Chains A and B, each alone.
Chain A
Amino acid sequence: SYALTQPPSVSVSPGQTASITCSGDKLGNKYVCWYQQKPGQSPLLVIYEDNKRPSGIPERFSGSNSGNTATLTISGTQAMDEADYYCQAWDSSTAVFGTGTKVTVL
């Protein structure tokens, strides 16, 4: 079955850039979206179709996807961005989530 792999954790200083990778076989041929989940909350869509931001999501969130890797980039990271982040893609009619990355803002 198709699998998406993310690093378990990423640490970033406030105001710096955080990059979260998501790896899967020929992932660049699929659309990827990203969800943010803060403790005790439901997931929130932050990027869809590789690089599009839903209404209300700050411009500091951006995405890219090529080859076998998709990347979520948080520019000028703020303390409020500390959360778990999950990538997601489709394999036929099955939704596949990444393993998740905990972003810590030090």
Chain B
Amino acid sequence: EVQLVESGGGLVQPGGSLRLSCAASGFTFGSYALSWVRQIPGKGLEWVSSISGSGGSTYYADSVKGRFTISRDNSKNTLYLQMNSLRVEDTAVYYCAKYGSGSSNWFDPWGQGALVTVSS
């Protein structure tokens, strides 16, 4: 069974930093791209970032480009999201998700989410 478990969420002040982790199991980790998707409580889903299976290609939403860094350690089956210069509007539940792949890509499954609260 594929499992994704996020950790590292919490309360941080504006301008601060936080690193999220996503521990994966149940699949050949390095063979799949992964993503971070966030959701402000009570609001919709927003894609944040994606990384290829090798880690050689990364992609970011304009809203986080230059502030967030996605990375992965294939020896530890773990995905990361380093978040710097955090803003109040970054407050959200952050989900990691595995790519499914065929003619297109989709997100399946998703982790349980980690809440990040940016507040003074």
Known contacts: A97-B45, A97-B46. The answer to whether A42 contacts B106 by CB under 8 A is no
- Cα A67 to Cα B38 in complex, Å, equals 29
Instruction: Mark out the residues of chain A between 25 and 66 whose CB falls within 8 Å of any chain B CB in the assembled complex.
Output: 30-31, 33, 35, 42-45, 48-49, 54
Cβ contacts under 8 Å, B107 to chain A: 33, 35, 43, 45, 88, 95
Closest to A97 in B: B45
Report yes or no: B50 in contact with A97, Cβ–Cβ below 8 A.
Answer: no
Closest to A33 in B: B106
Shortest distance from the beta carbon of B56 to any chain A beta carbon, whole Å: 13
Residues of chain B at interface, number, CB under 8 A: 24
Q: Is the interface of A mostly helix, strand, loop or mixed?
A: strand
Report yes or no: A95 in contact with B50, Cβ–Cβ below 8 A.
Answer: yes
Instruction: Mark out the residues of chain B between 52 and 71 whose CB falls within 8 Å of any chain A CB in the assembled complex.
Output: 59, 61-62
